[in-house]
Structure 1
Amino acid sequence: MTTARLPDDLTLLERGWLSSNNLLLHGAPGEGATLIDTGHSVHAAQTVALVAHALGDAPLARIVNTHLHSDHCGGNAALQAAHPAMSVWIAPGQADAVPGWDLDVLTYRTTGQRCDRFRHDGVLRPGDVLHAGTRAWDVLAAPGHDPDSLMLFDAQAGVLVSADALWQNGFGVVFPELDGLDAFDQVAEVLDLIERLDVRTVIPGHGPAFTDVGPALQRARQRLSKFVANPPLHARHAAKVLLKYHVMEERQQALEDLLNWAEGTPLVIGTLARAGLHEPVRTSCQTLLTELVASGALRIQQQEVHDV
C-alpha cells in the first residue's frame, strides 16, 4: 500500500476512527484557510489545538463538512467558539434540521451518538466549485454511506477528498441499508465515478492519504460484493461498528451500562435484527462483544468494557 506526500498548501491532520481526518486547504495571503471536517466532539479541544498549530498566523475562514455524522462535524462548535468570524458550509440534505437541532433527522438520537450543537452559514451542492487558494474543487455527490455525503475533487492535481466513500481498505458502513433502504447500488456507482475521474491521490475520511487508487477500488468492490451477496453480513459488521464506536466515545464503560445503551438505541436494535440476531438485544450484543474482544478491538476487564 502506498501513502501519499501532499503539497504544501494541503495539511492533513490524520486522526483515527472516532474522529475523522481534518484537511486544511491553505488559501492565498489574506484569504484564510478552509478546514474539511472537524472530528468528534470528544476530541474537540485537541482539534482546536491541532488546527491552530497548522494555521500558524493565518485565519480560519471556513469549515466544510463532507457529511454530518458525528465523527465529521463534532468539532464544529468548538472551532466556531475559537474562530467566531469563520463560516460553516454543509450539504443541503440536512441543512433544515441544523438550526432547530433535530436529533432525529440528524440521526444522533437513532444512532445513540452525540454531537455538539453548531450553526451553519451556507450549503454546498453537487455541481458547485469550492475555491481555496489556487485550487478549484469540484463538489461531487457521494451517496451510499450517507445519502447526503459529498466528495471534493481537484481535477488539475488529481486529488480526491473521498470522505467515507473510499478508504484505502474499504468504505464506511452503508447506513441507509440499516434502515431498509437499498443503497449498495449507490456505493457501487460512487466507486465507478471515482474510477472515471483522473484520481492520483485520495485523501480519505479515515486513514492516510494514498496513491494506489486502482487497488483500493478493487478492495472496496470485493468488500461490497460480499455485502451484496449477504446483507446480514453487512448488518453484523455494522452492529459491531456501532458498539465499538460507542465505546470509543465513552473510552470505557461498565458492561451493564453499555448493554442498557444498546437496548435503548433504535439503530442497534434494528441492525441486530437485520443481522439475523433475534435473541434479546443484551444477548446478541454480548455475542458481538465477545467477537470484538477476540479480534483485539475491545477489552473487557472486571465487567468494564475498554477501548483498545
Structure 2
Amino acid sequence: MSEKRIGNYLLPPGIEIFERGWLSANNIFLFGEDDVSLVDSGYCTHQQMTVDLVSNALKRHNLSGLNKLVNTHLHSDHCGGNAGLLKEFDCEIWIPEAEVIAVQDWDEDLLSFAQLGQDCPRFSHCDQLVAGKEINLGPYRWQILAAPGHDNHSIMLYQEQHQILISADALWEEGFGVIFPELWGESGFEGVAQTLELIEELPVALVIPGHGKPFTDVKKSIATAKSRLDYLSGDTDRNARHGAKVLLKYKLLEWRSKEMSAVKSWIAGTPALESIRKQMNLCSGDFEDWLIQALVKSKAAIIEKDCLVNLD
C-alpha cells in the first residue's frame, strides 16, 4: 500500500482518515493485530455510508471486524452512526465519562440532540473515556485528554510516539466548533482557552480535526483559534449569532431544500435557538426572519420558490 503523506508528515501504518463533509464528522480508522477501532461515526442520515467505509476498510486490510467505536463527544455529527455500526459489527462503544448517565437513561434534557434540533438513533455504550487515562486504538496507545469549550464533556486523543492529536472540534485548521455551553448560560470561553493552552504545550506534528483536512501547521492554527476566541468572547451576542447561523446551516445541509414555513417552524421549535432569540431580545417572527436572511446574506443559502435552499 502506498505511503500517505500530509504535508511533510508521513502517516504511520495502521491509521486511515475518512474525511467527511460537514454534516458528518471525520472518522479515524485504526487497525493493528490486536485491535480495530473507529473514532467518531458521523451523522445518522449518513450511517450507511459510515458502515460501508468501515466494511471496505476491513476488506482492504483483511480484518475480521470492528472491535471499538470511540466518540470524542456526543454531538449528533460525531455519534449519529453509533446505532448502525453497533448493529452491523457488534462493537464496543466508548463515550466520555460525563455522558454515561445521559446515555444510560437516554435523557433528552442532558443529551444535546433535541436541544439543537438534530437527530440521533438511540445506542448503548460499553465503557467510558476518562481524561488522564490511556486507551489502545489500533496498534497504538493514546492519551485521553479533557477538551472543554465547544462541548464541556469532549475529549481529545493524543499519540505521543507519533505526535498525533485527534482534536475533534476543539481545534480545526481555521478555528474550532461553536462554543455551545455559552448558548445556554454555562462557561465555554474559558474552556476553549484552557484547551488551546493544553494543545500548545504538547509536541504535535499532525492534527486530525473533527471537520476539514488534517494539518501540520499547528502553531498557525492555534494563533487563528485564539484570535477567533478573542473576537467571540469580546461580545457574547457574536457567539450567539454565530451559533444560530451554524445550527440552521447544519440543518439545511441535511434538508438541502425546505419550505419556508417548515424552516420557521423548526427554528421556533429548537430550544437552543429559542435561548439565542431571548438573548438577542427579538420577537419570534423577527428572529426567524433575521436568521434566514443572515444565511442568505452570507451566501450559505438562497430563497427559491418559497423554499430555503442550501448553497455549498
TM-score range (shorter-chain normalised) is over 0.9
TM-score, L = length of structure 2? 0.93
Q: Residues 1-308 of structure 1 correspond to what in structure 2 (within 5 A)? A: 3=7, 6-28=11-33, 31-56=34-59, 57-58=62-63, 59-84=65-90, 86-274=91-279, 276=280, 278-308=281-311
Provide the rounded CA distance (Å) in 2 between the counterparts of 1:152 and 1:191: 14
Q: Check the 8 A contact 1:40/1:73 in 2, yes or no.
A: yes
What code does the residue aligned with 2:80 have? G
Identity %: 42
Could you tell me which amino acid in structure 2 is paired with residue 188 of structure 1?
A
Tell me, in whole angstroms, the C-alpha distance in 2 between the residues paired with 1:115 and 1:132: 25
CA contact 1:236–1:272 (8 Å) conserved in 2? no
Q: How many residues align?
A: 302
Instruction: For 1:272 and 1:242, locate their aligned partners in 2 and report how far apart those are by CA, in whole Å.
Output: 13
Amino acid of the residue matched to residue 279 of structure 1?
L
Give the whole-Å Cα distance in 2 for the aligned partners of 1:108 and 1:291. Answer: 23
For residues 206-230 of structure 1, the C-alpha deviation after alignment (integer angstroms, 9 at most, x for no partner) is: 0011000000000000000001111
Please identify, of 288-297 and 51-60, the stretch whose mean Cα deviation from structure 2 is larger.
288-297
1:5 Cα offset (Å): 5.1
Q: Distance in 2 between matches of 1:123 and 1:178?
A: 26
User: Structure 2: which 5+ residue stretches go unaligned?
Assistant: 1-5
2:3 aligned residue: none
Q: How far is 1:151 from its partner?
A: 0.2
Contact 1:262 1:282 in 2 (8 A): no
Conserved 8 A contact 1:262-1:281 = no
Residues of 2 paired with 1:7 and 1:255: CA distance? 48
TM-score by length of 1: 0.94
Gaps of 5+ in 1: none
Q: Distance in 2 between matches of 1:11 and 1:282?
A: 46
Secondary structure of 1:60's match? Answer: coil
Do the aligned residues in 2 keep the contact of 1:19 with 1:72 (CA within 8 Å)? yes
Q: 1: distance between equivalents of 2:47 and 2:309?
A: 21
Give the distance between the partners of 2:138 and 2:283, measured in 1 at CA.
55
CA shift digits 1:139-195 (9 cap, x unpaired): 000011111100000011100000000000000111110011122011001000000
Structure 2 CA distance for aligned equivalents of residues 83 and 134 of structure 1: 20
Give, in whole Å, the separation in 1 of the partners of 2:289 and 2:10.
Answer: 42
Supply the RMSD in Å over aligned alpha carbons: 1.4
Secondary structure in 2 aligned to 1:109? Answer: coil
Q: Distance in 1 between matches of 2:187 and 2:69?
A: 31
